[in-house]
Structure 1
């Protein structure tokens, strides 16, 4: 029988893996943060209230930092990276506001979700406002190619959300189908955030493609580790309750694997708890037991490491510079969150 991997934070914290990136982009991130605050203003009082509730809630802002780092890696020296980084963060924040409404989530980053304080309607509409602001920033940069990349990303993210709705509570979801959701819903924004750096720096297509590949594979690894953490992380680290995916009836990769490998009786358990929504308090412990029995957590993390290795290989095209080393360390941070 397999055992569930202990998903606890290492002594000293896994955030140490982000230290080189944080140091690299610190001056530019100050400008990004100031720019973000300046663009959440509105005469409609509720808009800055809702937006700042989430924006100021302590997220690491990894995606905009990737935009700044890949821009620096490619020798960019203008201010377009700051505006695009802010646009990326606004896109991400908008998707979180929308996600919490779709999922009926009560918590986000350890705080009450905006929908719990202002309602679903306000959360959706403020998310729309942030998307509009993001596109205004993209236009200001003056790069039609960067605008194309991020606007296409917005469409793909929306498609990923719809695909997730189709897969929700469907235990027949295959691993390929689930990974398609992950690529659209999560990894696409990572990929676009990284790709626009070499684009505004005027670098060759090969470098643009390499940066995109790095971001895409990093984003997939990031989501798969999140999937594993939901069944074994710490609530203080997750910013939500352990088992929220299970309670919300979400089909994630650990469940896909355990369902495929399980007996007929075990599959009936997953159907009852996830498809039928008839989960009892004691069922989370049983779900974790089944995940351990079939090695679903370990194999989810192994797949995350696989995509992390692909992200590492994508960076091989670039010179061994401090920016490239910082981006390599990010891969370690993403996968080390599960140890």
Structure 2
């Protein structure tokens, strides 16, 4: 992870001063670096011991992720990211969009330098899928007719795709068979869904300092997430009118967020969302049964446990 951090900093360098300046702001904010960790741990678990392909590809994965965060914060007009002022709130909107583009190009440079068409295929497909997921989320925003399956389609695109790719390329650099690639992709995919489900629950109940972003952003932006779908489906006609006014019409008062949390609690929507997240974590952990017991396999299992523990 230290080597990956050094690779990220080195690749953020540019003679255009604003690029490293904005990049330094993002690096200073920290973050879990969970996606590159999956690449590094999967590669080591699969026996990769020589060279630094896994380090460079882990950096590539983080560049893709960071680029999407920069763009997302502009789209969502978010003021906080990882507990600090978001890049768009410090630098305005134009610079984060363009530096996000720079990070995408850096990611593709790293893919090309790796020299594997298979790696390029996996990560470029994930990049396209993320963009599709973000656009689909935009389409479903403010739409209470969204089904749970459509919601999960958004999650698979915008979050799970990169988790899956990050884990899968670890097996690729180790030269492991397709079955192991597939198992790690399934692990990452299920873990990514669980991670997003927990995030969506935390948006209503977390301590803002712990969450690292503004609590209630999803509500204010009219995002249709699983807690909302559960409460809406279980709600009375009056409650459904409340959700329609606040989320579909965007007519919100200062007291509406508190009432939204009250309704979510009344119908057990947060707990139900976390139960679903736990199911996906177990699926992720079961995907690792193909691999022999080891400290690294246990570490990947523990990442799933950590994903759920964030909500407690």
Q: Secondary structure at the match of 2:204?
A: coil
Match of 2:124 among 148, 151, 157: 151
2: distance between equivalents of 1:311 and 1:48? 36
Q: Secondary structure at the match of 1:230?
A: helix
2: distance between equivalents of 1:190 and 1:244? 23
* 1:56 positional shift: 2.4
Show the counterpart of 1:244: 217
Show the counterpart of 2:10: 38
Give matches, 1:1-339, under 5 Å. 29-77=1-49, 78-339=51-312
Report 1 or 2 for greater relative contact order, CA contacts < 8 Å, sequence distance ≥ 6: 1
Show the counterpart of 1:9: none
2: distance between equivalents of 1:320 and 1:56? 36
2: distance between equivalents of 1:122 and 1:241? 22
| 51-60 or 329-338, larger mean C-alpha shift | 51-60
How many pairs does the alignment contain?
311
- 5+ residue gaps, structure 1: 1-28
2: distance between equivalents of 1:215 and 1:80? 19
* 1:276 positional shift: 1.2
* 1:234 positional shift: 0.7
Q: Is the CA contact (8 Å cut-off) linking 1:109 and 1:240 kept in structure 2?
A: yes
Taking structure 2 as the reference length, the TM-score comes to 0.98
Q: Which runs of 4+ in 1 moved over 4 A?
A: none
Query: What per-residue deviation string (whole Å, max 9, x for no partner) do you get for residues 278-325 of structure 1?
Result: 111111111011111111111100000000010011000000011101
2: distance between equivalents of 1:113 and 1:309? 33
Q: Secondary structure at the match of 2:205?
A: coil
2: distance between equivalents of 1:338 and 1:115? 27
Q: Is the CA contact (8 Å cut-off) linking 1:225 and 1:338 kept in structure 2?
A: yes
* 1:52 positional shift: 1.9
Q: Is the CA contact (8 Å cut-off) linking 2:67 and 2:100 kept in structure 1?
A: yes
Query: What per-residue deviation string (whole Å, max 9, x for no partner) do you get for residues 205-264 of structure 1?
Result: 100000000000000000001111111111111012221211222111100111111111
Q: Secondary structure at the match of 1:279?
A: coil
Query: What per-residue deviation string (whole Å, max 9, x for no partner) do you get for residues 186-218 of structure 1?
Result: 111000000000011110110000000000000
Q: CA RMSD in A?
A: 0.8
* 1:89 positional shift: 0.4
Q: Is the CA contact (8 Å cut-off) linking 2:67 and 2:104 kept in structure 1?
A: yes
Show the counterpart of 1:23: none
